[in-house]
Structure 1
Amino acid sequence: AFRPGVAWRDLPLAVKVSEPLSRCCIHGFSPEHITELPLLIEPVPEDSVALCRADFSSHHTSDDAPTEVDDGTQAYAAVEKADEGKAQEDDENVGRVIREIDDSEVAEEEKVEKKEFYEIEEIRKEEVKKEQGEQKKQGEEKQGEQEKQREQEEQEDQEADESLAEMHNGAVMEEMAKFVESFKGLGEQFKLVDKIGEGTFSSVYKAVDLQHDQYDNSQWVSDSEDENEGVLGLDDDNTRRGQLLGSKRKRPADSRGKYVAIKRIYVTSSPMRIENEISILHDLSGSDCVVPLITAFRQEDQVVVVLPYFKHDEFRDFYRKATMTDIKYYFHSLFTALKNIHSHGIIHRDVKPSNFLYNVHKRRGVLVDFGLAQREIDKPQPVTPARPPPEQHQRKVRKSMNADKENYQSGKEGVNSAVKHAGGLLPQEGPVGYKKNDSRPMVRANRAGTRGFRAPEVLFKVVNQTVAIDIWSAGVILLSFLTGRFPFFHSTIDVDALLEIAVLFGVREMRDCAALHNRTFQTNIPTVQREARVSFVKLCKALDPEGYEARNETEMRVALDLLECCLCLDPEARVTAEEALRHPFLKGA
């Protein structure tokens, strides 16, 4: 701050002033006086102005004359320093502004990208939703078409069934009319209502006993008040044909409690077979679990057997849903029937579900169809030679097999068996199969029965067969209950049936079983080479895991023990019907 009037031209100074000029660091002078100074005037920050003010003040202490001053080096250095600080600050400010701009741009870009992402995502969702809607619509249309097609097929099937039923009814009515006409006096005693079954050797008709009140019927019990149809005494698996194809007819008003089953035996049956069946039925009358014989008629070569009419449930409809309690009652009733016929020395020979008519609601069943039955006292004596010592038997078989090595039939030429054969009895090379021309003598034995239910001794053609073959058949039925598979065995010929049993019991036990009957079991089929048997527990778990888990494990183990006793390969060690009834599994039934 200097007073005006100082000779400024004499000052060797370089003064920087700030803008606007009204804030000049040289106070006391108006802006227009600045032009007289030999100075380089530049804008400077406030601190530089203060510095200059301080420097000038220190050199001028008198109002009359200027004091001595330096050449301005310090002031200039201060100004330069201030300039550097200002420049650095400006750079920092510029950098900060640039960073803020960059951050703002990045944020804006991220915002735009995020917005675009959400827009794309919304578009994608809309497309997916639209696509799903189209697929759902197509699925509904397809389902509607399938339902329409199914309804159409059901309608066509129903029309076909009705047409078939009409044709069947017409054919059945004509057949029954001819039957009544050909059998003198039949129409006076019975009124035929429907054909309820047909077999190889017989047909069964449902009829009304017109003379029911004229006889004492207290010795047999009938379920004739039930409208469900039962088939008695058929000799094959076609027992439900009539019921499945025929339509239900209304019961006559006077027929209550008078329904019977009339079995018409064809003339192709052997007279001895017919006599045997009627005789056995007569001897078994009085048993609650065996179908009784009401009466029988013969006219020339035609034979008619009259049996009670029983209601029963189809085995396929309940065996998979049966509880352990249901199974207990089923087999208690079955073994009771077998105990009764076995006590009379009678072999049924055809025990199977269709020949044991069981009522699930009443927990009662009756054993029917004794067309193949046989009395043990009538069995032919064995004619096979005594069994040779084991070593001699092995040498004989080995010699025979080596001699017939080239005589094997095969479905695949040039296939060599690479497996080890049991006991060294089979040739190590050669086609897989069985002998085309077997030079060994033929063994004749009774092999009557239904496929899948024949015991091993029947398949081995053992002459001396016992009631144990019925126990084996009962065991096969129990196996179907526990595995949920019916029928369990499917083979149509004895050789394949033996192989099915071998898969279950193993080759070793099958060889031992064959040796019991002076037979030899051998196979070079690669898939039948397992030596040990399959565990029944593992078998049931594998075939019916849900059923196994749903049943009580303790009861399941006891049931499997009974199964082991029934499906014993040795008929002599097989459980009897009486022993089966005392088994823990049937306790309390």
Structure 2
Amino acid sequence: MSRARSIEYINTFEEIASVFDVINKIGQGTFGTVFSVRPRFDPNSSILALKVMVPTTGLRRIENELRILRVLDGQNGVIKLISAKRIRDHVFILTPYIRCKSFSRYYLTYDEKEIKRYLTSLLKALEHVHRHRIIHRDVKPSNFLLDQYTQQYTLVDFGLAHSQEAGDVDRNWTPTPMPLANPKRQFSFATSNSCKHKLTRSLVDDKYHLVRRFWDGTDSGDRLVLRSSSLSDLPNSPTTSDSSKPACVCGNRLTVCRPCLNYRKGPTARRGGTLGYRPPEVIYNTANQTTAVDIWAVGVIFCSFLTGHYPFIPGDSDFEAIHAFTHLLSFERMQKGAQAVGKNLYLSPKPSPLAGQKDYIYLKDRLERIRREMKEPPPLPPTFSSDAPPPGPTVALPRNYKFEVMTFDLCSRLLEPNPRLRISASKALAHPYLAGSK
């Protein structure tokens, strides 16, 4: 284990160790490690989560995540940003701590009412995110956490999220600055190129007021202020355009010059996300991607509930995922979806044709067939006390359970291969299968 990802290393930061007791390491990803911490000044206070960004993570990516969390403001099931601080080239992000349990431990125990509640909660969170024209880009069960005590869901990890139109940092996205009680208490995201993005501490509500005061030394008038900079100050900006191609200096050399190596003939397509949850337009390297990227992932999660299989697509490559969904949705639908984004799909052997079947009936037949092959989990161990109540069922819905037809209609709309026709979060919430669910 890298020393930089250990509790011992975090405690070497006096600004952290003097304010928090670091309890456990609770998660680790590509760009950071998450620890559970408790404020020293109040042993009875709630445990918080402290995300420590990998020092090599680009400051642009970190600033982008903080901007998005600040705009979403912890509403409608989105994780709340309490505060953030930069110390010795490390960025620390403080959020509430969620005592969650793994999706694999509870998804089979859900009846239809609980499945509807899960989907409704996820779609409401995405509706809030998409209303701000933000793509989460990494929707999956491990990023939609169930608090095992409050039974509330929270959408987390916005490390890959971005504005749909402008990419990482929107040229026009300038939150209104609020008055600062202590302007000197600021820290700067700065690179060797003097890329400065002043960030002052946030006080959004009273719940985390003391935490911010002890960690940040700020007064109650402080707000999170992200001051925009001109894109020319930002290195490697994807929104910066240059009308002229850099001059070629290859000459008669046997090597390709740097301008030619760096010159791109077409727009760069984003491919971020998790294998098995990426939609076709991402796999096809489509340049113009929308919030529909997240909706496809909801459909994949829905398939896990409907079939009792998780992960639903266990393959090792995007090609396997395309192959699987072509057999699930039909070659005709997948081909139309590919052509809608300027691509062509070739597959051999092809699955059986739609032959006049409705899309959701074709999907229903295949998902039901997969469900019949669902493996029952091992039984729970016997209790030591004869007076203890027997454990509840580990599987709420048997493998021969029949979902109503409207269920598969919603799933088919979530998994629409054409991103322009894919249902939105708002319309999915109004679908007859979910309408009225809480």
For Structure 1 versus Structure 2, the TM-score category normalised by the shorter chain is 0.5 to 0.7
For residue 444 of structure 1, the aligned residue among 253, 262, 268 is 268
* Pair 1:204 & 2:34 matched: yes
CA distance in 1 between partners of 2:266 and 2:320 (Å): 18
Provide the residue aligned with 1:571 in structure 2: 419
Provide the residue aligned with 1:176 in structure 2: 7
CA offsets 1:217-249 (integer angstroms, 9 cap, x no match)? xxxxxxxxxxxxxxxxxxxxxxxxxxxxxxxxx
For residue 356 of structure 1, the aligned residue among 141, 144, 151 is 144
* Pair 1:302 & 2:90 matched: yes
Which residues of 2 match residues 81-96 of structure 1 at below 5 A?
none
Q: Which runs of 5+ in 2 are unaligned?
A: 168-237, 242-264, 375-396
CA offsets 1:333-388 (integer angstroms, 9 cap, x no match)? 1111001111111110000000000146644200000000011131479x9xxxxx
Query: Which amino acid is 2:414 matched to?
Result: C
CA distance in 1 between partners of 2:62 and 2:284 (Å): 27
CA offsets 1:530-581 (integer angstroms, 9 cap, x no match)? 4337823222322223846664x4x532221211111111111111111111
CA distance in 1 between partners of 2:437 and 2:91 (Å): 42
Which residues of 2 match residues 262-411 of structure 1 at below 5 A?
262-359=50-147, 362-379=150-167
- SS of residue paired to 1:258: coil
For residue 189 of structure 1, the aligned residue among 8, 14, 19 is 19
CA distance in 1 between partners of 2:437 and 2:6 (Å): 48
Provide the residue aligned with 1:412 in structure 2: none
For residue 336 of structure 2, the aligned residue among 502, 512, 515 is 512
CA distance in 1 between partners of 2:146 and 2:280 (Å): 27
* Pair 1:542 & 2:369 matched: yes
Query: Which amino acid is 1:544 matched to?
Result: R
CA distance in 2 between partners of 1:450 and 1:279 (Å): 23
Query: Which amino acid is 1:196 matched to?
Result: I
Which residues of 2 match residues 409-558 of structure 1 at below 5 A?
444-523=268-347, 525-526=348-349, 528-532=350-354, 535-545=362-372, 547=397, 551=401, 553=402, 556-558=404-406
Specify whether residues 577 and 468 from structure 1 end up closer, same or farther in structure 2 by C-alpha distance, changes over 3 A only: same
- SS of residue paired to 2:339: helix
Query: Which amino acid is 2:428 matched to?
Result: A
Shift of 1:257: 3.2
CA distance in 1 between partners of 2:15 and 2:90 (Å): 13
CA offsets 1:279-322 (integer angstroms, 9 cap, x no match)? 11111114040000010110232111011011223210111121
Query: Which amino acid is 1:178 matched to?
Result: Y
Contact 2:99 2:148 in 1 (8 A): no
Give the aligned length.
315
Query: Which amino acid is 1:351 matched to?
Result: V
- SS of residue paired to 1:185: helix
Specify whether residues 562 and 497 from structure 1 end up closer, same or farther in structure 2 by C-alpha distance, changes over 3 A only: same
The Cα RMSD (Å) is: 2.6
Provide the residue aligned with 1:6 in structure 2: none
Q: Which runs of 4+ in 1 moved over 6 A?
A: 171-174
* Pair 1:584 & 2:432 matched: yes
Specify whether residues 258 and 549 from structure 1 end up closer, same or farther in structure 2 by C-alpha distance, changes over 3 A only: closer
Q: Which runs of 5+ in 1 are unaligned?
A: 1-167, 213-253, 384-440
Query: Which amino acid is 1:516 matched to?
Result: A
Specify whether residues 359 and 186 from structure 1 end up closer, same or farther in structure 2 by C-alpha distance, changes over 3 A only: closer
Shift of 1:172: 8.6
Specify whether residues 286 and 205 from structure 1 end up closer, same or farther in structure 2 by C-alpha distance, changes over 3 A only: closer
CA distance in 1 between partners of 2:66 and 2:92 (Å): 10
Specify whether residues 173 and 448 from structure 1 end up closer, same or farther in structure 2 by C-alpha distance, changes over 3 A only: closer
Specify whether residues 202 and 571 from structure 1 end up closer, same or farther in structure 2 by C-alpha distance, changes over 3 A only: same
Contact 1:471 1:577 in 2 (8 A): yes
Higher relative contact order by CA 8 Å / sep ≥ 6: 1 or 2? Answer: 2
The percent of aligned pairs where both chains have the same amino acid is 33
CA distance in 2 between partners of 1:556 and 1:302 (Å): 51
Provide the residue aligned with 1:33 in structure 2: none
- SS of residue paired to 2:296: helix
Larger radius of gyration: 1
CA offsets 1:14-40 (integer angstroms, 9 cap, x no match)? xxxxxxxxxxxxxxxxxxxxxxxxxxx
Shift of 1:443: 6.7
Which residues of 2 match residues 214-253 of structure 1 at below 5 A?
none
Shift of 1:324: 0.1
Provide the residue aligned with 1:162 in structure 2: none
Specify whether residues 371 and 286 from structure 1 end up closer, same or farther in structure 2 by C-alpha distance, changes over 3 A only: closer
Specify whether residues 361 and 540 from structure 1 end up closer, same or farther in structure 2 by C-alpha distance, changes over 3 A only: farther
- SS of residue paired to 2:24: strand
Contact 1:330 1:358 in 2 (8 A): no
CA distance in 2 between partners of 1:336 and 1:456 (Å): 24
Greater fraction helix: 1
CA distance in 2 between partners of 1:542 and 1:185 (Å): 57
Specify whether residues 205 and 363 from structure 1 end up closer, same or farther in structure 2 by C-alpha distance, changes over 3 A only: closer
Contact 2:145 2:155 in 1 (8 A): yes
